[in-house]
Amino acid sequence: MFRKFHFFALMFFGVVLAVDVSADTVQAGDITIETAWARASIGTMRPAAAYLTIKNSGKASDVLLSIKTEVAGVAEVHKTTMTDGVSKMGPVGPLPINAGDTITFVPGGLHIMMMMLKKTLKKGETLPMTLIFEKAGQVNITVPILNVGSSGPK
């Protein structure tokens, strides 16, 4: 009896944990934001990163103009590139989202860099973020925070 209860308790908590770390899909016009997540930060002195997927199901392009979050003084799209064996990272500026495109932000590629953190990002918490598009306007999302070295939601 105890083993059955233990098994069901583990299954229940496993489902709760899976739900807890998954972000909601948010629709704004032709733009869909999904699978948003961030890594926990090491204090506030170092930047933190967030990742997500943006889909444009429309017939017209849109542009991600900027990003705001109350947890950072600066949040912007960055890209990591490799040149002559040296990894470089820097801001992208406005990011076009062409009609029919899906753009996935991943560690080692496009990501949202959050600098001048106002608080430590802790595993299990969430952070509010606003993506500002040229056509879709302001899109508010809630980003779950995973482990420091996480490679994304399971």
Q: Which structure tokens are listed for 34?
A: 């999904």
Strands 31-39 and 137-146: parallel
Q: Is residue 154 part of a domain?
A: no
Q: Which residues pair with 104 in a beta bridge?
A: 53
Angle at 35 between CA 150 and CA 87, to 5 degrees: 50
Question: What's the CATH number where 89 sits?
Answer: 2.60.40.1890
Is residue 57 a part of any domain in this protein?
Answer: yes
Q: How confident is the model at residue 10 (pLDDT cuts 50, 70, 90)?
A: very low
**Portion of the chain with pLDDT greater than 70, in percent:** 85
pLDDT computed for residue 101 by the predictor? 97
* Inside any domain, residue 109: yes
Q: Is residue 132 part of a domain?
A: yes
Evaluate whether 114 touches 75 at the Cβ level (below 8 Å). yes
- Residue in the structure block whose two tokens are 């076009």: 96
Q: Does some domain include residue 82?
A: yes
- The SS3 of residue 149 is coil
Q: What are 90-105's pLDDT values in tens digits?
A: 999 999 999 999 999 9
Q: Which residues pair with 53 in a beta bridge?
A: 34, 104
CB 75, CB 67: distance < 8 Å? yes
Residue-level pLDDT at 103: 98
Residue at 18 is within a domain: no
On whether residue 16 sits in a domain, the answer given is no
Domain membership of residue 54 (yes or no) is yes
The parent domain of residue 123 ranges over 23-146
Q: How many domains does the chain have?
A: 1
**Alpha carbon distances (Å) from 105 to 33, 50, 53, 84, 111:** 11, 8, 6, 23, 5
